[in-house]
Amino acid sequence: MIVCAINGSPKPEGNTAYALSLVLEELEKEGIETQVIQVGGKAIYGCTACGGCAQTGRCIYEDGLNEHVDLLEQADGILVGTPVYYAGMNGTLKCFLDRAFYSRGRKMRHKVAAAVAAVRRTGGMTALEDINRFFTISEMLVVSSNYWNVIHGSKPGEAQQDLEGQQIMRLLGKNMAWMLKMRDMAGQQAGEPEKEKKIGMNFIR
């Protein structure tokens, strides 16, 4: 099994990366392979709603996103981390997730997923909700901890002083490992629910 972590922060060694590392460490203790995709700081376009991906299953823009989404498609679990600037996920991560899920969200079905946010003070809840919406519309299995998945710190390294935040991330990693194994066992014994074709309905005619 493998979990891909997406770091939405432009600081590869900042507080968001630290939070992700705490979760990944617990996964690795359980024998689960991990990989980090550095999205923050990259020049990633926003979705232009061109519809090209409906024909090919891949975004038409070749800025490195498709290669990253290939890794997500192959993974059993996805972990997404964001810094919080204006009470939501940061812009680069939003562009990445919009295009990744618009082009290949159907491939994410029943993957195990979790989101974490690194904040100075507040806004973590709305950032988590932003990310979780991508998971729930794609029929993913969302993991929780013993509190909302937020760690506090402003400058790089400050999150290491948030003892409760560290515990939240450790437990999230343990719960994610458990859910991955439970999903694997359930799939072997009971299989997956049959996938239904999406019924789309517009209310303005």
The CATH number assigned to the domain holding 173 equals 3.40.50.360
Interior CA angle at 94 toward 111 and 43, to 5°? 115
Query: Is residue 64 domain-resident?
Result: yes
Residues 70, 91: Cα–Cα separation, whole Å:
21
* Count of helices and strands (H, E) across the chain: 6, 6
Query: Is residue 55 domain-resident?
Result: yes
Residues 144, 161: Cα–Cα separation, whole Å:
22
Q: Is the pLDDT of residue 59 over 80?
A: yes
Range of the domain at 106: 2-190
Q: How far apart, in Å, do the first and last CA atoms of the chain sit?
A: 46
Query: Is residue 173 domain-resident?
Result: yes
Tell me: the pLDDT tens digits for 130-154?
A: 999 999 999 999 999 999 999 999 9
Q: Is the pLDDT of residue 205 over 90?
A: no
Dump the DSSP string for 24-67: HHHHHHTT-EEEEEE-TTS--PPP----THHHHSS-S--SSHHH
Give this prediction's pTM.
0.94
Tell me: the pLDDT tens digits for 138-197?
A: 999 999 999 999 999 999 999 999 999 999 999 999 999 999 999 999 888 888 889 999
> Residue 111 in contact with residue 37, Cβ under 8 Å?
no
Query: Is residue 202 domain-resident?
Result: no
User: Residue 113 — φ and ψ, nearest 5°?
Assistant: -135, 150
Can you give the pLDDT at residue 79? 98
Query: Is residue 200 domain-resident?
Result: no
Query: Is residue 116 domain-resident?
Result: yes
Tokens of 74: 């192959």
Q: How many domains does the chain have?
A: 1
> Residue 57 in contact with residue 104, Cβ under 8 Å?
yes
Question: What average pLDDT does this structure show over 46-58?
Answer: 93
Query: Is residue 198 domain-resident?
Result: no
Query: Is residue 196 domain-resident?
Result: no
> Residue 56 in contact with residue 66, Cβ under 8 Å?
no
For CA atoms 89, 98, 140, 15, give the dihedral sign.
negative
Tell me: the pLDDT tens digits for 90-143?
A: 999 999 999 999 999 999 999 999 999 999 999 999 999 999 999 999 999 999
